[in-house]
Structure 1
Amino acid sequence: MVQGNGSFRALPINSQFPLENSPQGNNQRFLRFPLNGKVNGLLPLADLRGVIQVALTEILPVPQVAEFLLGIMNWRGEAIWILDLAGLLGATHWCRRENVRNSGMAMLVQVQNQTVGLLVEQVNTIEVYDSQERLAISASMLPARLKSFLQGYFMDAQGNPLMLVDTHAVIQALQSL
């Protein structure tokens, strides 16, 4: 769902973006978004409950929690955690960035009946990749902490890596706090 001006509109992620026919049937759909100025991330659409625009004023800060947890907000009568996804992955915290934005897009994921909003600056496109083309992250490529939140990566048409976020690992990080 996309929230705008107090109302919800359907995000056509399931009906208008059919999977390409593949002999192996390995194609999956992903939501692409920038993690920082140089790296883009992918989130499996199968893990996505919706996408909402969130003003930082809607997030209630919670004291003495991990820095990447921006706080909680009310979404359809449910209190959900909003976390700074780039901050979790080791980038500069949302509120410490040079051009801090007053709002962002929260990708709502649900794992084991727990909904969490992964806040990013924007969401870009829905893309299809063959799951057999996913590449493993080598030990020298990224710090171990960062690797633990990723399932690997794909290469886009321009040869840029697209990091595949592991939503289950992100939720587990919250549960271990």
Structure 2
Amino acid sequence: MVNSPEFFTGKGQDLASDIQDLQTPEGELHLRFYLPSQSEFALPAAGIREVMQQTPDRITPIPNASPLLLGTINLRGQIIWVADLGQFLGEETILNTDRSEIPVIAVEDQEMILGLAVEQLGEMEWLDLENLQPSHNISDQIAPYVEGEWITDQELNQVLRLLNHVAILRSARWVA
């Protein structure tokens, strides 16, 4: 039926040539996002369990917990911590939680899951790790969690930094 000439009508005949024009993506799939300072970061899609929008009332604050942690959420029956990623990375700008929804990226490694609250979600994008450069002008506080950076705009000195989700999950800062 699909091979039937009647299946293709009008512009449908160009479908076969359009499919051939598609290119195989290079690199690995990453999620881009922004922190409150408008710094742009990326996480590898392979380490992301889920991306969600949480209403602030769904994040339950826990008394005497680290100030880096906003609280916990119930992710399909599993209770996970939600952290302010910007504060964890040493940003001075605090995440605005007084809004209808907070973007949360749930990252995982083995059996460990952590929700990372961010300012704004970006797009999924194939990024070539061969073009990743060593990070420059970053603080000692963020350095252990950054694997490198891509230069997105040379003139404006804009970079996209790649975070290591495993280093963030396993950080000793969560127990301090």
> Which TM-score tier does this pair reach, normalised by the shorter chain?
0.7 to 0.9
Partner of 2:74: 74
Q: How does 1:49-128 map to 2 (within 5 A)?
A: 49-91=49-91, 92-94=93-95, 97=96, 100-128=98-126
Q: Is the 8 A contact 1:30 1:128 kept in 2?
A: yes
Q: Is the 8 A contact 1:106 1:117 kept in 2?
A: yes
- Whose radius of gyration is greater, 1 or 2? 2
Letter in 2 for 1:149: Y
Structure 2-normalised TM-score? Answer: 0.76
Partner of 1:161: 159
Task: Say how many residue pairs are matched.
Answer: 150
Shift of 1:137: 1.7
Percent identical pairs in the alignment equals 27
Cα shift readout 1:131-151 (whole Å, capped 9, x = no counterpart): 11111124xx11111111211
In 1: Cα distance, 2:47 partner to 2:23 partner:
16
Partner of 1:32: 32
Q: Is the 8 A contact 1:68 1:93 kept in 2?
A: no
Q: Is the 8 A contact 2:36 2:118 kept in 1?
A: no
Cα shift readout 1:81-102 (whole Å, capped 9, x = no counterpart): 10111111112232xx5x8434
Residues 72, 105 of structure 1: alpha-carbon distance in 2 compared, 3 angstrom cutoff:
same
Partner of 2:133: 135
Residues 103, 132 of structure 1: alpha-carbon distance in 2 compared, 3 angstrom cutoff:
same
In 1: Cα distance, 2:99 partner to 2:52 partner:
15
Moved over 4 A (4+): none
Residues 175, 19 of structure 1: alpha-carbon distance in 2 compared, 3 angstrom cutoff:
farther
Structure 1 gaps, min length 5: 1-17
Partner of 2:24: 20
Q: Is the 8 A contact 1:73 1:79 kept in 2?
A: yes
Structure 1-normalised TM-score? Answer: 0.76
* Structure with the bigger percentage of helix: 2
Residues 38, 93 of structure 1: alpha-carbon distance in 2 compared, 3 angstrom cutoff:
closer
Partner of 2:141: 145
Letter in 2 for 1:143: S
Cα shift readout 1:38-95 (whole Å, capped 9, x = no counterpart): 411101111111111111111111122221111111110000010111111112232x
Residues 127, 21 of structure 1: alpha-carbon distance in 2 compared, 3 angstrom cutoff:
closer
Q: How much is the aligned-residue C-alpha RMSD, in angstroms? A: 2.2
Q: Secondary structure at the residue paired with 2:122?
A: coil
Shift of 1:127: 1.3
